[in-house]
Structure 1
Amino acid sequence: MEPTNWTFLGLVCIAAAVSFLAAVLFWPRVAGRGPKHLAARTVLLGVCQLAMTTAIVLVTNKYFVFYASWSDLLDNGKSNVQVKQVQTQRGKEATPTGLVHRTTTDLGPKRRDQKHDPQKDGRVDRLQMRGPRSGLDAEAYVYLPPQYFQPQFAHKRLPVVMLLSGGPSDDKLAWIRQAHLPEDIAKTVAAGRAQPVVYVMTRSAKALTQPAQPPAGAGAGVGLPKHAAAAGVAPRPQTCLNLPGRSFGQAEDLYTQDLPEAVGDLYRVAQSRKGWAVGGFGTSGQCAVRFAMLHSDRFAAGASVNGLFDLPGPVVDGPPGGPKGDLYGRSKVFQQDNDLLWRLEHLPPPPVSLLVAAGQDSGRPAQQADRIAALTRPPLNAEKLLVPGAPADLKSWRHRLPEVLGWLAARVAPQ
């Protein structure tokens, strides 16, 4: 019988009880003086304590399962064990290369007539990944500044700013082609106006995809709309919220857990929340602020550029396989809990810093920037940035983005 077997435990407990009763019954008989009586009392106490200690230890082991078998407890030899990575919630073994594929690109800053040197130019990597928790497929571009490759920074973990595109600028290369982030950031850091930061650039939740078939162990169709499961269509999330009633395919999990952990495993970056910030443009602006507010254990700051903070309404005519109908499971409580403006007004504020940037003539984005700033209470710190006009895409915002990115960079710390 194994040490966790109930029959074995019962016998041990009975033996402990019997030894205790025997000590009580026989104690008067060995109460006399002399070496024989002393030895008898010693044996009674020793047997009683040994039996009771054994019972307590085995019951504790049964509860916590420190040792499931006698071989676990007694075997001092080495076992031939191969440790492999397991995809959480997907129920399948995977190697790291099966989850994230990294390639080097030529999208970084270039010096005219000069051979590319990462220590002087930095580098842009492309990541293709499948989130182990979310089950979603995503693509991201990582800008590594020149300092990342320089010897004096070899023992430093650089901070990270994660950036999401959105709205009319929701393109996988929007931060590189439209915002010219690598070139502008390199100039800003070289001029001493910002510290070196690793930038992770990705698209909004609408660009994410998931397998048409559910993960192993989830059951057929679990987490997918019925029509999508029947048609074998891979749906795309329509919002960065985690939606109720779905066991996988949650966009919020990818941005707040899967992607940060993948970047942390691949690069020499900060591991604590003090070294991470998130920003979003357009429709992703609310997502960035949401991630900072609801996941202050991961991010220290969040910034929205030209974003709106109204909750997404019912999806009437989504894409094939996408969510349709009420996104909140018909729960008013869940819907209210995801309303950021309501949270700022009624719930204790999180310990993060927020920046809300909008055009002065943009209408509702500017109005909501004013409201968020007005609702600020410690330990939350919220600032607004209103720029002239109503710039609508990243290209129009390019000359003001260094101000936003500099604000984010100033609120993260290396390690």
Structure 2
Amino acid sequence: MSLTSTSLLILAACVTIGAPVATYLLWNRARGPRPVRAASRLGLIGLCQATMLLLVGLLINNHYDLYASWSDLLGDDGGGPVALHQATRTATDLNQSGTPATDPNANPNPNPNANRQPQLGFGGGGQSAHGTAPNPAGTVNPANVPKPVFVPGGHDTQVAAFRGPLSGIGGNGGDVAVWLPPQYNQPAYANTRFPVIMLFPGYPGSPAGWFSVLDGGGVLQQMLAKQQATPFVLVAVNVNQNGQNLNCSNIPGGPQMATYIAEDVRTMIEANFHVSDKRTGWGLMGFSDGGLCAGKLLVQYPQYFRSAAQMAGDSTPDGRQVVRAGTDFVDQNSTLWLLTHRHPGPDQPVSLLAAVSDQDTDSLPVAFQLQAAAPDIVSVSEHAHGAHNPAVWRSWLPEMYTWLSQHLDSAQPAG
């Protein structure tokens, strides 16, 4: 009898109804000394409560697809992916400038600033700290970014309250959590600009979940010890400000969450840590609603981000404020719509990995719809086992870090 079967649900309902009936019939039939009778009656009450909890648990599990099978409930995810459906253009097809390496007639640098972030000007005539790209209007000058106070957080992170100067969002505490790889403080890497992965939780969720429940830093540290990934700086962002599911979108007349992530937080991290100032050194990753954030922000901001990985992510936002803004606005913040209508150009190529399980029936079709819309951008990692829960996503992290290591700049000792 499977965990999500109707027969198990019916059986649980029958037992839940039968337990109080049995308690009524057996209450006065308890035999033995008074302590034994009391223990028997308490056991009957406990049975009623246990059967009710079982029924409620099954109903919740079936509604949210948290666990798809008994093995899933017991933590057996079935191992690695069953199949990796690669995008038609892989990382090896692109050179460092983002130009298809197999095209002998391609301009080797069609846009000299394509891999630079245009808002890096520190003043002084609009000169960039790492180049000559001007600081355009409406973007953040890192010299003007408030320096938040980072304090030690759990799981080797440092956390800060950060209010974005452009978006006006944040400042409530725990807005940003940063995890630094061991190499960050080693002398050999003192002049290295580390690649960054921005991390997004689902809804409801907080940045801390990335390092507690999913152990995002611990998993990466184990891989670094085995030289299985590049040293990333991990930056988890609170995308559910004030308990609102904004789907990482700029709400008309409301919170500007996309700006907060792509402009405010990213620039603040660059101003406070020695990290990459190139789009090819910035990636995104999220699970569930956070997976939607990773995918759509990649396509909305290809000038800032090179690659993203989404685990069991959706393609269409459903947050209350997003839906209220109308169908057109929902479309413009849908990864599927964006890949179809706002396909990034060849001067700013992007790559998206959609990880799904055959047992997660809500997320499974989404991944293949995304790949059908943009086969040159989207790869699909298909797993046989695992439903919509953190234990499954944690087991996928080594694969996600490996893939992002292949699609983002690596961190090397710099002289």
TM-score (norm 1): 0.59
Change (3 A) 1:352 1:406: same
1:102 counterpart = 2:150: yes
1:100-249 aligned within 5 A: 100-105=148-153, 107-108=155-156, 124-137=157-170, 139-167=175-203, 170-203=205-238, 205-206=239-240, 208-209=241-242, 236=244, 238-246=246-254, 249=255
Question: Any conservation in 1 of the 2:286–2:294 contact (CA below 8 Å)?
Answer: yes
1:274 aligns with 2:280: yes
Shift of 1:406: 2.0
- Which has the larger Rg? 1
Cα distance in 1 for residues equivalent to 2:409 and 2:280? 6
**Any stretches of 5+ residues in structure 1 without a counterpart?**
1-87, 109-123, 210-234, 316-322
Measured after TM superposition, the shift of residue 403 of structure 1 is 0.7
Distance 1:155 1:348, change over 3 A: same
Alpha-carbon contact 2:316-2:331 (below 8 Å) kept = no
Q: Is the 8 A contact 1:157 1:414 kept in 2?
A: no
Q: CA–CA distance in 2 between the matches of 1:250 and 1:95?
A: 17
> Is this contact kept in 1: 2:219–2:397, CA < 8 A?
no
From 330, 333, 337, the counterpart of 2:332: 337
Q: 1:346 to 1:250 in 2, by over 3 A?
A: closer
Alpha-carbon spacing, 1:333–1:127, altered in 2? closer, same or farther (3 Å): same
Alignment of 1:10-409 (within 5 A): 96-97=146-147, 100-105=148-153, 107-108=155-156, 124-137=157-170, 139-167=175-203, 170-203=205-238, 205-206=239-240, 208-209=241-242, 236=244, 238-246=246-254, 249-312=255-318, 315=320, 323=321, 326-328=323-325, 330=326, 332-350=327-345, 351-378=349-376, 381-409=377-405
- Structure-2 change in CA distance of 1:137 and 1:368 (3 Å): same
Determine the structure 2 residue equivalent to 1:411.
Answer: 407
Structure 2 gaps, min length 5: 1-137
Deviation at 1:280, TM superposition (A): 0.9
Deviation at 1:236, TM superposition (A): 4.2
Could you say which structure has the greater relative contact order, defined with CA pairs below 8 angstroms and 6 or more residues apart?
2
Q: Answer yes or no: is the 8 Å Cα contact 1:391–1:397 preserved in 2.
A: no
Give the superposed CA RMSD: 2.6
Instruction: Classify the secondary structure of the residue corresponding to 2:338.
Output: helix
Give the share of equivalent positions with the same residue, in percent.
26
The CA deviation string for residues 182-233 of structure 1, in whole angstroms up to 9 with x for no partner, is 2211110111111111001233x32x14xxxxxxxxxxxxxxxxxxxxxxxx
Normalising by structure 2, we get a TM-score of: 0.59
